[in-house]
Structure 1
Amino acid sequence: MISINEFFIKQVAQPRNDYKELLDLSLIFLDGLPEGTASFKCPGLMHHTRWMAKAIYSLKIFMFRDQFSFSKREIDSLRQICTFIILIYFKVWFTCSVAIQAPNNDLQLLKKLLSCPEIQLPMLQKALKNLSAHLWYLDEELAALALFDNNVSDEMKRKMCRAISQNEQSNIIREKRYVARKLDLMSFSNKDLSEFFLKNSLKLFETFDLPCDFLEVDVSLWPNNESYKDNLDFFKQLSVVNDVAERGIALIEDYNNCLTKNEEQ
């Protein structure tokens, strides 16, 4: 079972109630209990684009499955959905707003989808198909964010630094989205972050007018290097646009509902 203590030991304030509800339900699903009183909220509206509602309701239905008349096939399918949510998508979703963890998270998610015996093959294939349309995010510039990720080992960061100075070009092409879809996904099983690093990776620092001379010293010295600390402070504050935009839209909708219930207005 995956470790999700980082999400539950410290009850970090969530920007939305459905985020917090999914956290609580996931802990209950794993035979734990959230801090305070555990309760189940009544189902509300669900739109086909709101995956969060689907995840929440799937967990609830499975927990109360004895109160429904389900066939064995339906129970098994529901169990698979819940297993996918907990094993695969849970941690990725709740860390997606952390920009410096994005490159490693994306690569590790892809590797887990390629080799996860707990999930049935049809579900994994569907997830891989959807993910393959977004592999262009794993480009050489954004990959440089992983230099500031504490989940990436020092040895891997050394390898990444060597790759920057040695690699002029890569056989992993992500210039266009349609090119990413044509890649052999199984080839990613044995890849590491260093294979996404080129000399072009330095453009990330040029774009934000930040120094990158810390790359010339050993990784063990980075915590005390002023150049590295300046970069770390900056990129830790870098926002992931999709996540921020979604929260902003929800805030605007809530505010608008306080003023009027007329959809046209």
Structure 2
Amino acid sequence: MIIRNCCLCTVPNEGISFRAPVSLHRARWIAKAIYCLNTFTAYFTACLLFRVLFAVTIYVKCWFQTPVATSAPKNDLWLLKNLKNFENTNKTMSKKALTKFLGQLWYLSKELVALAFFDDEISLESKQKMVIALNKKGSDYYSPKRITMDQSHIEEKNIEDFVTSNTLRFFRILGIPSAFLQKEPRVWEEDEDYKASREIVRSMRVVNDIAERGVALIEEFNKLITTDEERNNSFFWL
């Protein structure tokens, strides 16, 4: 579609082209958000306005911090709180986004919330509360990979609310030191165990893009070998 007449006075002579965004499934829907931002400068609708506000005020920050393991628990909670507050802007969009992301709370589980111990943006006061919360008895069985949360209580939650004695399993599973937890958070930066554990945690990848690409490559390779569905499945699970 080419627009040659527009309310803006800076339309180029050749007009403005709008093209459908591609590969949205490979970059969540950030490509669509970028497209809305570009389009918003030339053409205005209420729908575009809400998409742009959502992308700029909420989604972009989380998008860029996604690969940072230590920020994962805080980002999950921050995102939920901001989605809840987005009700004041667009209640429908807020509700749909919350419903979607409430099913993706991998890093607020009893074990993975331990990543926040190494997050420089978590205050010392919060880290101290997290240490105290380690005395709170957890379940005798391994908690599910992701938690469930009531939307009405999102704004009341703090990062330490997700910590229990089960959180210590994080250190046992990875085989990293946890003795620094016996000290005050203000001295952790000087503790060798803490620094060693932090280096390991910072090297972790918290996104599944690599795994998804690997699966896609295997599937494409299988199609080159045979088109028979039964044989295709046998190759995939080989």
Superposition deviation, residue 56 in structure 1: 1.9
Q: 1:125 to 1:208 in 2, by over 3 A?
A: same
Superposition deviation, residue 249 in structure 1: 7.8
Distance (Å, rounded) in 1 between the aligned partners of 2:122 and 2:145: 27
Q: In the alignment, which residue of structure 2 is the partner of 1:6?
A: none
Q: TM-score, normalised by structure 1?
A: 0.68
Q: In the alignment, which residue of structure 2 is the partner of 1:59?
A: 37
The yes-or-no answer on 1:91 pairing with 2:67 is no
The yes-or-no answer on 1:175 pairing with 2:144 is yes
Q: Deviations over 1:14-39 (max 9, x none)?
A: xxxxxxxxxxxxxxxxxxxxxxxxxx
Which runs of 5 or more residues in structure 1 are unaligned? 1-39, 257-262
Amino acid at match of 1:126: K
Amino acid at match of 1:55: A
Q: In the alignment, which residue of structure 2 is the partner of 1:10?
A: none
Distance (Å, rounded) in 2 between the aligned partners of 1:90 and 1:110: 14
Which runs of 5 or more residues in structure 2 are unaligned? 1-15, 226-238
Superposition deviation, residue 77 in structure 1: 1.0
Aligned 1:36-185 pairs, distance under 5 A: 43=19, 46-47=22-23, 49=25, 51-65=29-43, 75-116=45-86, 119-164=89-134, 166-169=135-138, 175=144, 180=148, 183-185=149-151
Distance (Å, rounded) in 1 between the aligned partners of 2:34 and 2:215: 21
Q: In the alignment, which residue of structure 1 is the partner of 2:197?
A: 231
Distance (Å, rounded) in 2 between the aligned partners of 1:239 and 1:88: 22
Aligned 8 A contact 2:106 2:112 in 1: no
Aligned 8 A contact 1:168 1:199 in 2: yes
Distance (Å, rounded) in 1 between the aligned partners of 2:22 and 2:33: 11
Q: Give runs of ≥4 in structure 1 deviating > 3 Å.
A: 40-45, 243-250
Superposition deviation, residue 231 in structure 1: 0.5
Q: TM-score, normalised by structure 2?
A: 0.75
Amino acid at match of 1:56: I
Aligned 8 A contact 2:24 2:30 in 1: no
Q: Bigger radius of gyration, 1 or 2?
A: 2
- CA-based RMSD of the aligned residues comes to 2.9
Superposition deviation, residue 174 in structure 1: 6.3
Q: Deviations over 1:40-81 (max 9, x none)?
A: 99846524535132112111111111xxxx6xxxx1110110
Q: In the alignment, which residue of structure 2 is the partner of 1:222?
A: 188
Distance (Å, rounded) in 1 between the aligned partners of 2:120 and 2:68: 12
The yes-or-no answer on 1:212 pairing with 2:164 is no
Larger mean CA deviation between 238-247 and 133-142 belongs to 238-247
Q: Percent identity?
A: 36
